[in-house]
C-alpha cells in the first residue's frame, strides 16, 4: 500500500504526491461546510440569523472535549484550516465591498466618523474609569487601560454578515456602520499602540500614533484612488487577452487578496484591504469582459421590441453582477469556516465560575452601553439602535487585544477570562438582536 509516510519525508513531495497534505483537513472542511449549512437554516427557522447557527456550531465543536470527544481539538489550531478561515473573512469583506457603492459610503463619511469616535471613546472611558475599577478593584492602571482598549474594538465581520443575510447592505445604517468600522479599525490600532507603549515603556509616542493614522489613511485613500484609476484600464487590457469569466474572476479576487496582503504588511487588518478592493470595482469598469454564457445564449432568442424589454433588463442586471455571482461560491466555501472557527474560540469552561461570569456581565453591559451611545451620534433619519448594535460585536478583534494584553503580562487569567466572556456575549447577542431590529424597521 502506498505509504502516507513516504509523502511527508521529502519536502515538496507531499504536494506533488497529490495524495493529501494532511488529508484530515479534507474531512474537517467537508464536515464544517456541510454542518454549517445544516445549522444556518435551523437557526433561521428559530428566528435567529444564519451566522448565529454557524457560531453556535463552532461553540459546540470547540467544546466537545468537555464530554470527552477530542477529535475537533486539533481543528482550531490547524494552520491550514486557520488560513482557510482567514480567506473566509477576506472573501466576506470583499463581497461586502463589491455590494457597497463607494459614493454611498462617502456620503455618510461624517456620520461614520462621529459614530466611530464616540464608539471608541465611550467604551474606552467606561472600561478604564468606571467598569474596571468598580467591578475589578485593586488591579493596576495598565490593566484598566487594556480593558478599555478591548471594549473599544469593533468586529465588522459579524455585523456585515447580518446586514448582508437580510439584504440590508444598501441601508443608510449599514453604510454608517461599515464606514465607522473601517475608521474604528484604524483608531483601534492607535489605542492598542498607545496603550502597549504606555505599558512597555511607560510613555506614549505621539509621533508613532500619528504615523499609524497617516499610514492607514494613505493606504485606504491611496489603494481606492489608484485602484479606481487603474481598474478600467487593467480590465480593458486583461479582457483583450482573455475576455472570459475566469479572467474577470481572477482580476477581482487577486485584487482582494493583494490589498488584504498589503493591509497586513502595513499593520492593518487584512479585511480592511479586502473591503477596499471590493469598493474600487464598479460594474462599469468590467464592461470589457464577456457577458455570462446564459446571457449570450439568450440574446438571439429574446423577443424584439417592447415585449422583450423586461427580459433584456433582467439579462443586463445578471451580466452586471457577473463578478459577484462568481465570488459567491467562494464565499459559500470559505465564509462558514471563519464563523465556525470563531465559535470554536469560545471556551465554555470560562463560564463555570459564577463570580467571573457576574463581573463579565457587568463589563459586557459597559461594552454594549458604550457602543449604543455611539449609535446616537449617527444623526437624524437613521435608527440609533441599529447603528449602535451594529458596532457591538468585538469578535476576533476583541480577542486580539485580549491576547496582546496577556502577552504583555498586563491581563491575568481572570481578567482575560472576563474579557473572553464579554467578547462571546457581544458576538453571540448581536446577530439575533440586530436581526430583530432590522426586521421591525422593515415593517
The contacts of residue 125 (CB under 8 Å, 6+ apart) are 148, 370
How far is the first Cα of the chain from the last one, in angstroms, to the nearest whole number?
Answer: 63
Q: Are 111 and 379 in contact (CB under 8 A)?
A: yes
Stretch that binds a second copy, among 114-122, 323-331, 359-367, 370-378 (CB under 8 A): 323-331
Which residue do the cell numbers 457560531 mark?
Answer: 55
CB of 376 to a second copy, least distance (A): 28
- Counting Cα atoms < 13 Å in the Cβ hemisphere of 328 gives 9
Q: Which is nearer to a second copy, 344 or 378 (CB)?
A: 344
CB of 123 to a second copy, least distance (A): 19
Residue list 6-45, contact with a second copy (CB under 8 A): 6-7, 9-27, 29-31, 33-34, 36-38, 40-42, 44
Q: Which three cell numbers stand for residue 157?
A: 465581520
- 71 is a site residue for a second copy (CB under 8 A): no
- 400 is a site residue for a second copy (CB under 8 A): yes
**Separation of alpha carbons 17 and 9, rounded Å:** 11
Q: Which is nearer to a second copy, 90 or 377 (CB)?
A: 90
- 288 is a site residue for a second copy (CB under 8 A): no
From 110, 167, 303, 409, residue interacting with a second copy (rule: CB under 8 A)? 303
From 70, 203, 307, 380, residue interacting with a second copy (rule: CB under 8 A)? 307
From 70, 201, 202, 241, residue interacting with a second copy (rule: CB under 8 A)? 241
From 329, 355, 380, 381, residue interacting with a second copy (rule: CB under 8 A)? 329
CB of 201 to a second copy, least distance (A): 14
Residue list 251-270, contact with a second copy (CB under 8 A): 251, 253-255, 257-258, 260-261, 264-265, 267-270
The residue among 108, 34, 24, 40 whose CA lies nearest residue 73 is 24
Q: Which is nearer to a second copy, 293 or 440 (CB)?
A: 293
- 213 is a site residue for a second copy (CB under 8 A): no
- 210 is a site residue for a second copy (CB under 8 A): no
Q: Residue 259 burial (CB < 10 Å; 0-12/13-18/19+)?
A: buried
From 143, 327, 340, 368, residue interacting with a second copy (rule: CB under 8 A)? 327
- 239 is a site residue for a second copy (CB under 8 A): no
Q: Where are the alpha helices (DSSP H) in 156-242?
A: 156-165, 172-201, 206-241
Residue list 126-155, contact with a second copy (CB under 8 A): 155
- 271 is a site residue for a second copy (CB under 8 A): yes
Q: Which is nearer to a second copy, 130 or 400 (CB)?
A: 400
Q: Are 344 and 61 in contact (CB under 8 A)?
A: yes
**Separation of alpha carbons 319 and 279, rounded Å:** 19
How distant, in Å, are the alpha carbons of 302, 315, 318 from that of 306? Answer: 11, 15, 19
Q: Which is nearer to a second copy, 246 or 355 (CB)?
A: 246
Task: Write each residue from 151 to 190 as x if it is in contact with a second copy (CB under 8 A), else as -, in one continuous string.
Answer: ----x-x-------------------------------x-
Q: Residue 35 burial (CB < 10 Å; 0-12/13-18/19+)?
A: middle
CB of 378 to a second copy, least distance (A): 25
How distant, in Å, are the alpha carbons of 32, 38, 51, 52, 340 from that of 343? Answer: 12, 16, 10, 9, 5
Q: Which is nearer to a second copy, 90 or 428 (CB)?
A: 90
DSSP 47: T
Amino acid at each position: 500500500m502506498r505509504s502516507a509516510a513516504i509523502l511527508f519525508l521529502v519536502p515538496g513531495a507531499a504536494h506533488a504526491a497529490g495524495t493529501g497534505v494532511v488529508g484530515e483537513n479534507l474531512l474537517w472542511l467537508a464536515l464544517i461546510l456541510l454542518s454549517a449549512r445544516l445549522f444556518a437554516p435551523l437557526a433561521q427557522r428559530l428566528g435567529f440569523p444564519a451566522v448565529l447557527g454557524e457560531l453556535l456550531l463552532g461553540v459546540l465543536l470547540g467544546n466537545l472535549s468537555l464530554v470527552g470527544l477530542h477529535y475537533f481539538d486539533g481543528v482550531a489550531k490547524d494552520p491550514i484550516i486557520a488560513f482557510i478561515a482567514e480567506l473566509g473573512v477576506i472573501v466576506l469583506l470583499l463581497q461586502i465591498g463589491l455590494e457597497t457603492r463607494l459614493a454611498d459610503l462617502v456620503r455618510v463619511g461624517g456620520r461614520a466618523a462621529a459614530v466611530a469616535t464616540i464608539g471608541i471613546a465611550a467604551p474606552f472611558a467606561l472600561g478604564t474609569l468606571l467598569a474596571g475599577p468598580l467591578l475589578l478593584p485593586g488591579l493596576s492602571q495598565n490593566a484598566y487601560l487594556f480593558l478599555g482598549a478591548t471594549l473599544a474594538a469593533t468586529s465588522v465581520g459579524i455585523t456585515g454578515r447580518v446586514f448582508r443575510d437580510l439584504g440590508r447592505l444598501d441601508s443608510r445604517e449599514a453604510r454608517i456602520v461599515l464606514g465607522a468600522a473601517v475608521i474604528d479599525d484604524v483608531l483601534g490600532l492607535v489605542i492598542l499602540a498607545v496603550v502597549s507603549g504606555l505599558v512597555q515603556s511607560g510613555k506614549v509616542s505621539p509621533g508613532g500614533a500619528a504615523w499609524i493614522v497617516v499610514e492607514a489613511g494613505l493606504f485606504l485613500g491611496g489603494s481606492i484612488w489608484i485602484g479606481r484609476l487603474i481598474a478600467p484600464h487593467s480590465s480593458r487590457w486583461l479582457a483583450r487577452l482573455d475576455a472570459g469569466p475566469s479572467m474577470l474572476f481572477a482580476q477581482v479576487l487577486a485584487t482582494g487578496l493583494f490589498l488584504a496582503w498589503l493591509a497586513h504588511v502595513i499593520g492593518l487588518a487584512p479585511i480592511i484591504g479586502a473591503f477596499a478592493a471590493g469598493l474600487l470595482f464598479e460594474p462599469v469598469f468590467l464592461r470589457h469582459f464577456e457577458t455570462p454564457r446564459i446571457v449570450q445564449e439568450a440574446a438571439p432568442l429574446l423577443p424584439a421590441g417592447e415585449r422583450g424589454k423586461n427580459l433584456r433588463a433582467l439579462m443586463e442586471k445578471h451580466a452586471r453582477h457577473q463578478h459577484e455571482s462568481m465570488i459567491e461560491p467562494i464565499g459559500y466555501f470559505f465564509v462558514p469556516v471563519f464563523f465556525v472557527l470563531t465559535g470554536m474560540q469560545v471556551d465554555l469552561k470560562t463560564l463555570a465560575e459564577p463570580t467571573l461570569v457576574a463581573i463579565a456581565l457587568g463589563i459586557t453591559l459597559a461594552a454594549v452601553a458604550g457602543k449604543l451611545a455611539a449609535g446616537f451620534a449617527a444623526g437624524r433619519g437613521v435608527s440609533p439602535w441599529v447603528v449602535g448594535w451594529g458596532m457591538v460585536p468585538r469578535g476576533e478583534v476583541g480577542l486580539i487585544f485580549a491576547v496582546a494584553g496577556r502577552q504583555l503580562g498586563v491581563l491575568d487569567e481572570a481578567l482575560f477570562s472576563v474579557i473572553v466572556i464579554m467578547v462571546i456575549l457581544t458576538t453571540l447577542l448581536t446577530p439575533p438582536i440586530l436581526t430583530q431590529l432590522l426586521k421591525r424597521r422593515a415593517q
